[in-house]
Structure 1
Amino acid sequence: MFSRLRLAAFDMDGTLLNEQSQMTEATKEACRLLQASGCKLVLSTGRTYASAQLPIGGFAFDGYVCSNGATVLEADGTLVQHAALPLEMIQQAVHTLRQEPIYYELHDTESNRWMVQEDRERIETLIEEDASVEGVSLRRFSFYEWSRVVPLAEMMQRIATGESKIVKLFVWHPVPEALVPVREQLERWSDQADITSSGKHNVEVIPKGVSKWEGLTYFCRKWGIAPEQVMAFGDAENDREALSNVGFPVVMENASPAMKELARFIAPHHDEDGVARFIRERVLADG
């Protein structure tokens, strides 16, 4: 069945990574074996390229689809394709987000995660509230280690001049229900941007028509690979387009029932080396 497989694409959080946001040694070894069989491996993630590098520990993927497809990079990290959000839409959306008690970042083509200085104290209070909530440790790491903090006026100036090309707005809250009204407000720009999510605690705004699948088609064209020769692993809403277009859609056991409806295959839970087990027990075992 899998003899025609030529490309495997992996979502990260909730899929390739365990609950500690790590790519385990078992997963790395299974991916090496798959790669050695002649299959190209591509990371397909909502993360920026820089934040995607940390948990994979130097594993050599053949390409990267980052920021939900808004940036596409070669194996060496060279940016080969990108799409930016419209200037006026960003300005208006940031003004809207600043009125809400939420965590938000602006991601650009250079993997920078921008924060507005005037909102930093409010955001810090939010991420210090509950250490048990999914993603809090990652949010804290981003807040203290990755984020570039500038005054609002400077941020708007960087965007206006094109010095910073914003490819994604990332919104997070420890209480998923709190994101419902925020998402509703962001929907007013649905003619200019797509609203998606990589988990129940976040909302992600990306350029219209951009998706992980759209990013993966760059590599399909480059390597002469047909959609039916592609396998995609995923678990969340931002994996929908990829799972809907590939020949081998694999959804994780931890995914929602709605996402499992897209599956041709179900892989074990992401915190139980689900990707590694599926590769070894199904793909490689099938020859």
Structure 2
Amino acid sequence: MPKIKMIATDVDGTFLNHDRDYNHARFAQQLQRLTAANIRFVVASGNHLGHLHKVFAPTPAVQTFVAENGGLIVDHGQTLFETAIPLPTVREVVHAILADDTIRPQVLRLSGAHGTYVVQGNQPLDPDAQDYFIDNLVTVPDLLTVDDTIYKINGEWPNDSIQAMAAKLNQRFPQQIHATASGFGSIDIIAPHMNKAIGITQLAQAWGIAPSEIAAFGDNDNDQEMLRHVGLGVAMRNGTDSVKRVANLLTPTDNDHDGVLNVIEAILADEV
């Protein structure tokens, strides 16, 4: 296969272990070797940019982020690409979801350029997880009054129902949104035809890198398009069956045992 020139990785359940951490020293050393080998490292996540900055603060050499499932791409502090959901669509979808008990979630949020908006008093299924993932929470009386650039609508449903619910939402709002299960009882609703694959492709094209020269890591449904699109799609050993089916390679170890870093080591050694 062609030489890898870009590595993109999901974060939770992939790069991070179950303690939401990673081997800082080993990764910092790998980053130096990746730079020397002219291989770009990219974070590709459904999370908002501020959270990703916090996660990778121990290794500040990480400076390229495909956030919001491709909706916001930032390199060294510069916004390169931005794909928002039109506000009229946001309001139409939010109104319809909240009005229908068959699809109404435990909590609904809007992830925007200036904050993540939630209705005051709404209680998430896992408050600790909300505190961890969202450090820019803004409480509002009504999501329909939010006036911001909205990259993503995010909702929480019972974890065992999120794949079926994502399919139901896509069927309910064809050509308006793209709903994808992101794990942990969460569904991300983004602009139609947007996903991590589109995000990393925009970035790779700006750098003159072909899809065949990209390796990508993921563990969940919102990683499928990305793994299917690149030259080396790597599914985590702890990943979902759906993401494993589209991958070229399965990590020899899971996310609790340096699964991503072990494969990066093999890429650096030209062993994959």
TM over 0.5: yes
Cα deviations by residue, 1:14-73 (Å, 9 ceiling, x for unpaired): 111111222322334333332332101111110111111111124222421110001111
> Any unmatched runs of 5+ in structure 2?
none
Q: What amino acid is aligned across from residue 91 of structure 1 in structure 2?
A: R
- Aligned counterpart, 2:73: 72
Shift in CA distance, 259/101, structure 1 to aligned 2, threshold 3 Å = closer
Query: Using the alignment, how far apart are the partners of 2:158 and 2:96 within structure 1?
Result: 19
Cα deviations by residue, 1:161-214 (Å, 9 ceiling, x for unpaired): xxx011101112454337845762564113211111221511110001111111
The higher-RCO structure (CA 8 Å, 6+ apart) is 1
| Secondary structure, aligned partner of 1:198 | strand
Q: Give TM-score, length-normalised by structure 2.
A: 0.87
Q: What amino acid is aligned across from residue 72 of structure 1 in structure 2?
A: I
What's the offset of the Cα at 1:246? 0.8
- Aligned counterpart, 1:133: none
| Secondary structure, aligned partner of 2:172 | helix
| Residue pairs, 1:1-287, within 5 angstroms | 4-25=3-24, 26-59=26-59, 60-76=61-77, 78-98=78-98, 100=104, 102-110=106-114, 112-117=115-120, 120=121, 122-123=122-123, 126-127=125-126, 137-142=128-133, 145-152=135-142, 155-159=143-147, 164-173=148-157, 175-177=159-161, 180=164, 184-185=168-169, 187-267=171-251, 268-280=253-265, 282-286=266-270
Q: Which moved more, 1:228-237 or 1:59-68?
A: 59-68
Q: What amino acid is aligned across from residue 189 of structure 1 in structure 2?
A: F
Q: What amino acid is aligned across from residue 144 of structure 2 in structure 1?
A: M
What's the offset of the Cα at 1:241? 1.4
Q: Which moved more, 1:260-269 or 1:4-13?
A: 260-269
Query: Using the alignment, how far apart are the partners of 2:36 and 2:89 within structure 1?
Result: 45
Shift in CA distance, 73/262, structure 1 to aligned 2, threshold 3 Å = same
Shift in CA distance, 114/183, structure 1 to aligned 2, threshold 3 Å = farther
Query: Using the alignment, how far apart are the partners of 2:98 and 2:62 within structure 1?
Result: 37
Q: Which has the higher helix share?
A: 1
**Superposition CA RMSD, Å:** 2.3
CA contact (8 A) 2:166 2:179 kept: no
Q: Give TM-score, length-normalised by structure 1.
A: 0.83
Q: Which runs of at least 4 in structure 1 moved beyond 6 Å after TM superposition?
A: none
CA contact (8 A) 1:40 1:62 kept: no
Shift in CA distance, 244/165, structure 1 to aligned 2, threshold 3 Å = same
Query: Using the alignment, how far apart are the partners of 2:11 and 2:149 within structure 1?
Result: 24
Shift in CA distance, 180/226, structure 1 to aligned 2, threshold 3 Å = closer
Query: Using the alignment, how far apart are the partners of 1:42 and 1:140 within structure 2?
Result: 25
Q: Which moved more, 1:12-21 or 1:85-94?
A: 85-94
Aligned length: 264
Query: Using the alignment, how far apart are the partners of 1:194 and 1:158 within structure 2?
Result: 21
Cα deviations by residue, 1:214-248 (Å, 9 ceiling, x for unpaired): 11122212211111111111111111111111111
| Secondary structure, aligned partner of 2:209 | coil
| Secondary structure, aligned partner of 2:183 | coil
Cα deviations by residue, 1:88-135 (Å, 9 ceiling, x for unpaired): 33213323444535122110134x211122xx2x415x435xxxxxxx
> Any unmatched runs of 5+ in structure 1?
129-136
